[in-house]
């Protein structure tokens, strides 16, 4: 079946460096994408989203890039901080089919 | 603040003993979701309500059921919990059924089976 997958299950970065978390998707009908952050013992929190008519969207210290040609999504975190340590999930949504698919998740470790 | 609240945060039950997890929301969202999340895995959708319309995922075991008595509350009932049902259970809400906006998650109930 179609699924969302991640290239790197674990990422370790030095505090202050930039982080890049990648996600591949395969459902060509997906037209909306979300990144969630899940800290230990908590539910997923919305970070940033992007619609399929865009290639890039920026938030505070975070940027999401969407490459529809190769079905690839990435989350960039600038100046990574210890508070960014968490598991990050991408989610792809087919708004026509009411279907949300979560990726496997990437655990980000930030070294002080 | 508007939010999604799950009670209890931790629940311990015995093998085969029915258990109910609860979720409430102050967002007045039409859609409420229940997810199961096992360690180091992505949330897995069990079912969702669009208003009172119940939608079960095809691979959700019959052991899992849900009730939504009103807009604010939703319950997850596990009729005969097995050891494999030990997991984090997440409730989420969304304003629209098509998922065209982010879901709002509670902090989950961690269920242990003795």
pLDDT category, A8, cuts 50, 70, 90?
very low
Report d(CA B90, CA A43) in Å as an integer: 7
Backbone angles phi, psi at B71, to 5 degrees: -60, -35
Mutate to test the interface with A, among B8, B21, B92, B99 (most CBs of A within 10 A): B99
Q: Which residue has the higher pLDDT, B40 or B94?
A: B94
Helix (H) or strand (E) segment spanning residue A74: strand A72-77
Does the pLDDT at position A2 exceed 60?
no
Q: How far is B2 from chain A (nearest CA, A)?
A: 14
Q: How far is B96 from chain A (nearest CA, A)?
A: 9
Does the pLDDT at position A99 exceed 80?
no
Tell me the average pLDDT across A65-71. 95
pLDDT at A1: 34
Does the pLDDT at position A97 exceed 70?
yes
Contact criterion met (CB below 8 Å) for A104 and A9 = yes
Cβ contact B105–A45 (<8 Å): yes
Token pair recorded at residue B36: 């199961």
A109 reaches B (C-beta below 8 A) = no
pLDDT category, A82, cuts 50, 70, 90?
very high
Q: Which residue of A has its CA nearest to B6?
A: A43
Chain B residues within 8 A of A36 when measuring between CB atoms: 102, 105
Mutate to test the interface with A, among B37, B42, B44, B108 (most CBs of A within 10 A): B42
Residue A70: CB partners within 8 Å, gap ≥ 6?
none
Q: What DSSP character marks residue B84?
A: G
pLDDT digits (tens, 9 = 90+) for B34-67: 999 998 899 999 999 999 999 999 999 999 999 9
Report d(CA A81, CA A16) in Å as an integer: 6
> How many interface pairs between A and B have CB atoms less than 8 angstroms apart?
51
**Cis peptide before B8, with omega less than 30 degrees from 0?**
yes
């Amino acid at each position: 079946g179609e699924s969302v997958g991640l290239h790197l299950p674990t990422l370790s970065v030095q505090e202050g460096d930039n982080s890049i978390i990648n996600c591949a998707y395969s459902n060509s009908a997906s037209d909306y994408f979300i990144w969630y952050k899940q800290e230990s013992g908590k539910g997923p929190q919305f970070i940033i989203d992007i619609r399929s008519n865009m290639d890039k969207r920026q938030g505070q210290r975070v940027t999401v890039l969407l490459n529809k040609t190769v079905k690839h999504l990435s989350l960039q975190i600038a100046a990574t901080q210890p508070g960014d340590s968490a598991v990050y999930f991408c989610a792809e949504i087919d708004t026509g089919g009411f279907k949300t698919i979560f990726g496997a998740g990437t655990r980000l470790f930030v070294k002080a | 603040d508007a939010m999604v609240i799950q009670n209890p945060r931790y629940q311990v039950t015995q093998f085969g003993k029915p258990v109910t997890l609860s979720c409430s929301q102050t967002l007045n969202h039409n859609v409420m979701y229940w997810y199961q999340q096992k360690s180091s895995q992505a949330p897995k959708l069990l079912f969702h309500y669009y208003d009172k319309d119940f939608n079960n995922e095809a691979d959700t075991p019959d052991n899992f059921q849900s009730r939504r008595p009103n807009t604010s509350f939703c319950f997850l009932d596990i009729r005969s919990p097995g050891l494999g049902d030990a997991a984090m259970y997440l409730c989420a809400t969304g304003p629209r059924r098509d998922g065209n906006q982010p879901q709002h998650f509670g902090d989950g109930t961690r269920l242990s089976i003795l």
